Amino acid sequence: MAEKRNVLGLPLLFLLTAVALLHLFVCPFTKVEESFNLQAAHDILYHRLHFDEYDHHDFPGVVPRTFLGPLFISVLCSPVVFLSSLLDAPKFYTQLTVRASLGLTRTLPNVFALPIVLVAFTSWMAQKYGRFISLSALVIIVFRSELCILLGLMLLISLLSRKLGLLQLLYYAIPAGILSLALTVAIDTVFWRKVLWPEGQVLCLVAARGCSFILCNYQKSWIYKLGSAVVVGQLLTNAAYSSICLYVSHHNYPGGRGMHELHRLLPDVFVHIDTYAAETGVSRFLEQNRNWRYDKREDLSVTSPDIKMYSHLLMEANVTKIQLVKDTHQPLAFIEGYSNIAFNKFHFPPISVRLERKAVLMERKTGQQKERL
């Protein structure tokens, strides 16, 4: 039986790895929701102890996040980064390495938490409650506080079935909770330069919004219960849907593709990256030229006189914005992105992705005064 499981397990492992790598290479860029962990990994790998240069000081996000995940991934990737620096390889390959670490394709808190939750669930099934409680404390306190609902219910089942005693629970939970809290506070206080428990702030925010939602939607709760009971789709449908989404996602990162186009076309650049481009694929891993200057300041208007300082602009392909900078800059290249999906039963395949101009590379016109910061 064990040999049969091994025979089946190895091909499934290769298949899972191949699918993850396929998604990674088809969609190598990232979106804004995963930017904190990705930028944090970049800063740990390249800026190291120069904390003043870290990206999160300028762009902290809505709520603070822990550095423990990016720190762990950076340690894993550091040999590859060292080798790539010796070969003078572009930093973009480091981004691929970071995202591929431990099978990660998205640097989200959920993805960091997933392996720990899976091991914790396995420990609970095997009735190894010491390991289950320790891992649960770590993942709840450090990565995703909402997991206290899932893991707490599992713990409650063990208590009610008398497979786990209250004193045994306290014996494991108290030291695990203290150590996990001390770990995240110690590490994140250093990186954020203030005493901080990131997931504690997230928990307070989620609890406040959750209470507000329940009070406002109490009479409608039966609709959500009914919806949660509906299971949609089967394996083949899910595979087809995933394939379509993967193809669509390939065309959904105009900011990242614009950065690649910028490095391909131009020798000397001082570029401003607007919010749209920064949210659709641009990361510090794409800053490949050490002699260039990259600026993501968010307080710059296209009508500001400071716009003339920049040799190039990577911005949303908005006709109004392009018209506003026409006196100083001109379009160099347009980057297409996903617009919508079209169905035509007379073509094969019947599904096609329509693209439209999403981002634009603007170049300063010849003769414009080259002001400097």
Residues 6+ apart with CB under 8 A from 349: none
Question: pLDDT > 90: what percent of the chain?
Answer: 20
In the three-class reduction of DSSP (H, G, I as helix; E, B as strand; rest coil), residue 236 is classed as: helix
Confidence of residue 298 (pLDDT cuts 50, 70, 90): confident
* pLDDT recorded at residue 277: 87
* pLDDT recorded at residue 190: 92
Question: Phi and psi of 304, rounded to 5°?
Answer: -75, 145
- Between CA 90 and CA 94 the distance in angstroms is 8
Rounded to two decimals, what is the model's pTM? 0.70
* pLDDT recorded at residue 373: 31
Confidence of residue 372 (pLDDT cuts 50, 70, 90): very low
Confidence of residue 178 (pLDDT cuts 50, 70, 90): very high
pLDDT, averaged across the chain = 82
Cβ neighbours around 297 below 10 Å, total? 11
Rounded to the nearest 10 degrees, what angle do helices 147-160 and 109-125 cross at? 10
Report whether the peptide linkage leading into residue 349 is cis, meaning its omega lies within 30 degrees of zero.
yes
Count Cα atoms within 13 angstroms, Cβ side, for 258: 36
- Between CA 347 and CA 324 the distance in angstroms is 41
Residue 7's alpha-carbon distances to 103, 122, 179, in angstroms, are 21, 21, 40
Confidence of residue 212 (pLDDT cuts 50, 70, 90): low
* pLDDT recorded at residue 121: 94
pLDDT in tens, 244-288: 777 767 777 787 778 777 777 666 788 899 888 888 888 888 888
Question: Phi and psi of 313, rounded to 5°?
Answer: -125, 130
In the three-class reduction of DSSP (H, G, I as helix; E, B as strand; rest coil), residue 354 is classed as: strand
Number of H helices, E strands in the chain: 14, 5
Give just the sign of the alpha carbon dihedral 68, 71, 73, 76.
negative
Query: Does residue 19 register a pLDDT over 70?
Result: yes
Question: Could you tell me whether strands 293-295 and 270-273 are parallel, antiparallel, or unpaired per DSSP bridges?
Answer: parallel
| Dihedral angle over CA of 156, 157, 159, 160, nearest 10 | 110
* pLDDT recorded at residue 371: 42
pLDDT in tens, 39-88: 899 999 988 888 888 888 888 777 888 999 999 999 998 898 888 888 88
Residues 6+ apart with CB under 8 A from 80: 94, 97
CB-based contact 287:278 (threshold 8 Å): no
CB-based contact 50:67 (threshold 8 Å): no
350: amino acid identity, one letter: P
- 3-state DSSP helix/strand/coil percent for the chain, to nearest 5? 60, 10, 30
Closest to 109 measured CA to CA, from 202, 236, 182, 218: 202
* pLDDT recorded at residue 266: 65
Query: Does residue 330 register a pLDDT over 60?
Result: yes
329-343, strands of its sheet edge to edge: 293-295, 270-273, 312-316, 351-364, 329-343
Question: pLDDT > 70: what percent of the chain?
Answer: 84
253-364: CATH topology is D-Maltodextrin-Binding Protein; domain 2 (3.40.190)
